[in-house]
Structure 1
Amino acid sequence: MVHSKRSIQSEDLKNIEVYSDPQYTPDGEAFTYVSTTINEENKYQSQLYFQRFDENEAIQWTFKNAKNDNLHFSPDGKIAVFQSTRSGISQLYLINKAGGEAKQLTTFKHGTFRPAWSKDGKSIFFHASLDKGETIEKQNELSAEEREKEKANHAKQPLVVDRLKYKSDANGFHDHKKIQIIQYSLVTKVFTQLTTEDADHSFQDSSPDSSIILFTANLNADSDYERFSDLFTLDLKTKEVTKLTNGKSSYYNAKFSPRGDTIASFGHDFEYSSATLNKLFLIDVTAGKRTSLSNDWDIQLGDAMVGDTRLGAATTGPIWSVDGKRLFFIATDFGATGLYQATMDGNLKALYKNNNHVFSFTYQPEADSFILGISTPTNPCNLYQLNTDLQLERLTNANEAFLQEVAISEPETLTFTTKDGLEIQGWLLRPYDFDETKKYPFILEIHGGPHMMYGQTFFHEMQLLAAKGYVVLYTNPRGSHGYGQEFVDAVRSNYGQGDYTDLMDAVDYVLENYSFIDETRLGVTGGSYGGFMTNWIVGHTNRFKAAVTQRSISNWLSFYGVSDIGYFFTKGEHGVNLLDDPTKLWDISPLKYANNIETPLLILHGERDFRCPIEQGEQLFSTLKHLRKQVEFVRFPGATHELSRSGDPLMRIARLDQICRWFEKYL
């Protein structure tokens, strides 16, 4: 099949517009959304758009070369608050629905983020990072020059570490700042600090009468050793804090019911550690009793889809219906995500589910309608209205010019049965200008997590490899979300065993059923857990002629002590910590099998990756190089574990070019 369109390129990351965070206006007559692009300076910028339903064109509300997002309307719909980095750091701004220039609301030294309105519209709640002993009085934003000077001075100081949780991939090395919840009164024009504990607080919601706020935090004395978060209420008049939950659990996305007597929240009790499916809990505000609506649902609540073109905020629920009798949320199931509804007796219903990726939604109570953000394997994103009759109507036409110009490969969904009887779902992409009579090289892609899911969403990296002439296979081996609790838990204490045979069975299946794959030119790649599996595969078979391992794990012994999650992830996934059974951890470390590796291996790693630190790549490279194996090591300056998804645009493109270079050389 010869295309009239050109093939997609790595540089096309700059041409893809990403929509996120759709929001109805309170009157239901219009909606807003965020558009994120890569500008001429090769930096991300996000702009706010407003569109009426009775008009065909959206109005661009922001133009500053910055990230403008997290917009929320006041309950009366007259003004909106949003956050922007236009001053050099995230601050809050107010904008009038009728138009005009945005007015800066906060000037906090360390920035502010995640604004939310009280139900009466008289207050705005938001987050601010405050240093130990720092107050909100006389908060002044630093100039760009002052920020650079402070950063330079900080870099010259030694880092004194006295906590277990002293770094994170998202934020780097931690300091003494904690996230506090601040209230701004539009009546008195006064800021009030609502939380003061030496802990990070996360605002969740305000009560219907605006007298109480709901937040999550871990205020336990042993919080440095725990992964839990409890739900708390704070009475705005008395400042009394009440702990609603008291267990070894984690809660998030909590919302008051319309009557204010019940709270709905996602969460779980870590029964299967990181492999535990989310539950939908109801908490009685007065009695404190917790019940689960989802005990009979074998489905992951929330969005577990893996992709590389999703940027910006997303609402996944739970959201209450106006009558308080239903809850709406996104859930992950069998390679797709959809919008679901649950009644108070636990009856689950899919309001919208198709072969695609619902990545966000907003609900209009009076009309009982929704706006969905949807990505498909052949379209990065668009916004759609789901009406009361559950009919879908497209509202936007994102990336129209781009999609008219480039050829996109439509994946073929396949399901096969492993040798031990599991059903595995996957997708096969055919190359650009595909000819059934030809033989093509092949690449197996392995996702990270491992408790995530490949599926029906747009994936630039997959499309690029197909455009370069490869058959691309991506699957969900055991350990992936989307197929129930037993399936996602099946990889724990079993790394490199059933997951490995699932992937090899997948390769065997496509070789047996697709005659256009050249079995002498097989490649494999993956990142994070997918990087671990790539390392494991080349240490246990020589059937692949080239491999690219990304932000990988090679040594579980050192991972325990160097990763920002190593101290709990190791025990949770493998059943032992370092001192419990180092032999077991070494036995499942790909580094142990380095002498077996004959496959040319390219190692890609970010210098600032704190999730799978770069020493994991260094150990593997040094060992293989010392053994005189075919290996190269590419280090990406300043890049974190998120390089492939939200990293520096030029680094993301360079990463893709390195992958293509290696496979072109050896396949």
Structure 2
Amino acid sequence: MTKRLLKAEDLYALHSITNPQLSPNGEEAVFTRTYIDEEKNKYVAHLFHLDVESGAVTQWTYGENRVSSPSWSADGKSVAFLSNRNEQNQIYIIATNGGEARQLTTLANGVSQFRWSPCGKNIWFSGRLKEGKKFTDLVEKEEKKKPTAYIVDGMKYKADGKGLLPQGIYNQIGKIDVATGDVQLFSEGNHHYSLEAVSHDGGKLVMSVNRAENKDFDFSQQIILVDIETKEETTIFHEEGHYGDAYFSYDDRYIAFYGSDRKYKNASHGAVYIYDTEEQRYWNLTQDFDAPVGDAAVADHQQGATAPTVVWTEANDLYFQVSTMGDIRLYYATLDGAIYPASPEGEHVYGYDVERNGAFALLAISNPVLPGEIFKYDVTTGASEQVTHFNDDFVEEVELVQPEAISYKSSDSLDVYGWLMKPAQYEEGKKYPLIVEIHGGPHTMYANSFFHELQLLAAQGYGVLYVNPRGSHGYSQEFVDAVRSDYGGGDYEDVMAGIDAVLAEHSWIDKERLGVTGGSYGGFMTNWIVGHTNRFKAAVTQRSISNWISFFGVSDIGYYFTDWQMGTDMKDVEKLWQHSPLKYAENVETPLLILHSEKDFRCPIEQAEQLYITLKSMGKETQFVRFPDADHNLSRTGLPSLRIERLAQITGWFEKYL
């Protein structure tokens, strides 16, 4: 059978299979399937049931909305989940023996997260609550609301994907009676609380909060163990950094949680921390393990994919994800610090759950030629069985290119890793153009995962080079930290050395037809590249940074991210200007397409406007495309029609100039 070439519109044919959750007895599981409704231009997600023994899959929910965060009750008789059937996410419960899902909450501002109480009679949740209001208060209806002024006091007043943050509204923790629907407020004070865990005996909560009066430069997180009956608090951790997502061991003695300190600012490796409730001490379980805990992969297919920081077994062993050498693998650990890989190389494990006795796991797995399915995995023997098959038809019908893993030495002899894709339907002896893709972050990584955009470029007849330059996760703490204060230095050399390496090894690449593109940090690097070399015949910059000086004040994270990444702030404008691609606009000779979202608060569109007007005023070959109703995540979670248009703009530009 001759397979067809992949198309941009294949986004509509793909299914995102995520969030496997095993039942307490390990005999059943639920998961979510997300797809794009082309006609309605929206994402739809449903809940599915899996019989682990037989492999039988049954759809449990229907409709035109999204389901997320499925969770079993302790007795295995019910599954709760979030759904946006009524605009805001609310909690729904479905009986495992059949029947319709029942809406449990009707909160004015919806539910952010929830955890079952072990008794099954209550569900703990967190949600946004206006100061002085109750969770049960109805939304005040205003027929024609007059515009009012937004008074800004602090520096954290806006966020990408949210816009201006609501004032006087805080994330609070409450409890709802499953039978009666009665709601009680548990947390106190005007602070943002996160619900982390409920003990197996039902007597304690773990929650996190920052109670600092001025949070502009306070990035500490207080993790608190709370006695539900007395509300007595025990602080188990309070340090600068990003911490949370806690899990009790089955005997309730230990609490595992995620942590990333501020030693290397936001480049610090994520770690697993353990708190011993008997000895009242904590330690970093992965302190001597030079790889980040969690999933650092960047791609564009998986929708709503979440994974726990850890999963305990009854023997008090742990499983967690690790991003390492281009893979996201499942790892196993003991409390004394022994850590071993538990899943194979060459995969992206983007979701998982482990049976409580540790006999097997359900893994959501992707690789460069597999969009993603759920596998039953024997953690002892390594035997693996695919149990969902939603993308089988797509894989059988469409020609997908298996990339070649590469490694090379950069200009300073640093080892750099990446991948090279040949064009689809490659013919020996022909010359092909090559496009270099650069990921965002920069503290993320390309991985052994399905990437629709990369496959599309290969289907259009391009070779594709994508590498993890210094600053990327997955190789070492030293490697990921190496880009800070040196944007456009060693990272630029890493990308260019990659081009030299593949040109030396692959005669099919036409060195006169090179293109480059990337978004966010990858957009910065695209801008930097075209200002420092004329090797490329075409470039597309997306959601980029062009001017660090203005970025400091206009980005939702600019005032601290600039210091974290560039090592300075507005006290050293000269350094910021030295590392700003806009400074080198006069050098640009490469035709540059500039793509940017109107509602991007992370890298605001003024970054693109400055670059475009500057280049245009200098008579450079450039074009500017603005996307309405889109934020920084257009390429991943944006409106489907705009995602298709974005891909058309990219491929159209390269077709014109390459």
Task: Mark yes or no: TM-score above 0.5.
Answer: yes
Q: Does 1:400 align with 2:392?
A: yes
Per the alignment, residue 263 of structure 1 pairs with: 255
- Residue-by-residue CA offset, 1:144-168 (whole Å, 9 max, x unaligned): xx6xx67x737x2222211110011
Task: Find the residue that maps to 2:145 and give its secondary structure.
Answer: helix
Matches within 5 A, 1:236-251: 236-251=228-243
Distance 1:258 1:459 in 2: 38
What one-letter code is carried by the residue in structure 1 that aligns with 2:481? D
- Is the Cα–Cα contact under 8 Å of residues 347 and 448 in structure 2 kept in the other structure? yes
Per the alignment, residue 451 of structure 1 pairs with: 443
- With the length of structure 1 as denominator, give the TM-score of the two structures: 0.96
- Is the Cα–Cα contact under 8 Å of residues 221 and 239 in structure 2 kept in the other structure? no
Per the alignment, residue 319 of structure 1 pairs with: 311
Distance 1:25 1:320 in 2: 14
Q: Does 1:469 align with 2:461?
A: yes
Per the alignment, residue 638 of structure 1 pairs with: 629
Matches within 5 A, 1:101-500: 101-137=100-136, 139-140=137-138, 153=145, 156-176=147-167, 177-186=169-178, 189-285=181-277, 287-324=279-316, 326-366=317-357, 368-387=359-378, 388-500=380-492
Per the alignment, residue 500 of structure 2 pairs with: 508
Task: Find the residue that maps to 1:557 and give its secondary structure.
Answer: helix
Structure 2: which 5+ residue stretches go unaligned?
none
What one-letter code is carried by the residue in structure 2 that aligns with 1:644? S
Per the alignment, residue 52 of structure 2 pairs with: 53
Which residue among 485, 508, 517 is the counterpart of 2:509? 517
Measure how far apart 1:56 and its partner are.
Answer: 4.2
Task: Find the residue that maps to 2:251 and give its secondary structure.
Answer: coil
Distance 1:501 1:68 in 2: 44
What one-letter code is carried by the residue in structure 2 that aligns with 1:589? S
Task: Judge which range, 529-538 or 381-390, deviates more.
Answer: 381-390
- With the length of structure 2 as denominator, give the TM-score of the two structures: 0.97
Measure how far apart 1:507 and its partner are.
Answer: 0.5
- Is the Cα–Cα contact under 8 Å of residues 92 and 113 in structure 1 kept in the other structure? no
- Residue-by-residue CA offset, 1:290-316 (whole Å, 9 max, x unaligned): 211212100110000011001114214
Task: Find the residue that maps to 2:565 and give its secondary structure.
Answer: helix
Per the alignment, residue 22 of structure 1 pairs with: 20
Q: Against the structure 1 CA distance between its residues 263 and 397, is the aligned structure 2 distance closer, same or farther, given a 3 Å change threshold? A: same
- Is the Cα–Cα contact under 8 Å of residues 45 and 67 in structure 2 kept in the other structure? yes
- Is the Cα–Cα contact under 8 Å of residues 70 and 313 in structure 1 kept in the other structure? no
Per the alignment, residue 88 of structure 2 pairs with: 89
- Residue-by-residue CA offset, 1:347-388 (whole Å, 9 max, x unaligned): 110011320100010121046321000001001101011124
Measure how far apart 1:190 and its partner are.
Answer: 2.1
Distance 1:55 1:259 in 2: 31
Per the alignment, residue 548 of structure 1 pairs with: 540
- Is the Cα–Cα contact under 8 Å of residues 315 and 357 in structure 2 kept in the other structure? no
Per the alignment, residue 602 of structure 2 pairs with: 611
- Is the Cα–Cα contact under 8 Å of residues 334 and 482 in structure 1 kept in the other structure? yes
- Residue-by-residue CA offset, 1:184-211 (whole Å, 9 max, x unaligned): 1236642111113322211111112111
Task: Judge which range, 262-271 or 595-604, deviates more.
Answer: 262-271
Distance 2:280 2:602 in 1: 36
Per the alignment, residue 37 of structure 1 pairs with: 35
Q: Against the structure 1 CA distance between its residues 224 and 243, is the aligned structure 2 distance closer, same or farther, given a 3 Å change threshold? A: farther
- Is the Cα–Cα contact under 8 Å of residues 337 and 353 in structure 1 kept in the other structure? no
- Is the Cα–Cα contact under 8 Å of residues 169 and 611 in structure 1 kept in the other structure? yes
Task: Judge which range, 81-90 or 605-614, deviates more.
Answer: 81-90
Two-structure CA RMSD over aligned residues (Å)? 1.5
Distance 1:591 1:236 in 2: 55
What one-letter code is carried by the residue in structure 1 that aligns with 2:344? K
Measure how far apart 1:114 and its partner are.
Answer: 2.0
- Is the Cα–Cα contact under 8 Å of residues 440 and 516 in structure 1 kept in the other structure? yes
Distance 1:249 1:627 in 2: 44
What one-letter code is carried by the residue in structure 2 that aligns with 1:629? K
- Is the Cα–Cα contact under 8 Å of residues 230 and 250 in structure 1 kept in the other structure? no
- Is the Cα–Cα contact under 8 Å of residues 639 and 647 in structure 1 kept in the other structure? yes
Measure how far apart 1:287 and its partner are.
Answer: 4.9
What one-letter code is carried by the residue in structure 1 that aligns with 2:76? G
- Is the Cα–Cα contact under 8 Å of residues 105 and 181 in structure 2 kept in the other structure? no
Task: Judge which range, 163-172 or 257-266, deviates more.
Answer: 257-266
Distance 2:610 2:188 in 1: 43
Measure how far apart 1:127 and its partner are.
Answer: 1.8
Distance 2:447 2:117 in 1: 37
Q: How many residues align?
A: 655
Q: Does 1:662 align with 2:653?
A: yes
- Residue-by-residue CA offset, 1:536-581 (whole Å, 9 max, x unaligned): 00000011010000000000001111111111111111111112x1
- Is the Cα–Cα contact under 8 Å of residues 433 and 509 in structure 2 kept in the other structure? yes
Distance 1:189 1:653 in 2: 43
- Is the Cα–Cα contact under 8 Å of residues 245 and 288 in structure 1 kept in the other structure? no
Distance 1:200 1:447 in 2: 32
Distance 2:271 2:553 in 1: 31
Task: Find the residue that maps to 2:395 and give its secondary structure.
Answer: helix
Distance 1:294 1:77 in 2: 33
Task: Judge which range, 519-528 or 386-395, deviates more.
Answer: 386-395
- Is the Cα–Cα contact under 8 Å of residues 606 and 637 in structure 1 kept in the other structure? yes
Which residue among 564, 573, 587 is the counterpart of 2:578? 587
Distance 2:228 2:153 in 1: 34
- Residue-by-residue CA offset, 1:91-127 (whole Å, 9 max, x unaligned): 1111111111111111111111322112232321112
Measure how far apart 1:448 and its partner are.
Answer: 0.5
Distance 1:197 1:517 in 2: 62
Task: Find the residue that maps to 2:61 and give its secondary structure.
Answer: coil
- Is the Cα–Cα contact under 8 Å of residues 314 and 361 in structure 1 kept in the other structure? no
Distance 1:26 1:280 in 2: 24
- Is the Cα–Cα contact under 8 Å of residues 236 and 282 in structure 2 kept in the other structure? no
Structure 1: which 5+ residue stretches go unaligned?
none
- Residue-by-residue CA offset, 1:207-263 (whole Å, 9 max, x unaligned): 121111101121122323222212012221112333222322331221122222322
Distance 1:110 1:247 in 2: 30
Distance 2:235 2:613 in 1: 51
Per the alignment, residue 74 of structure 2 pairs with: 75
Matches within 5 A, 1:565-576: 565-576=557-568
Per the alignment, residue 12 of structure 1 pairs with: 10
Task: Judge which range, 258-267 or 430-439, deviates more.
Answer: 258-267
What one-letter code is carried by the residue in structure 2 that aligns with 1:73? W
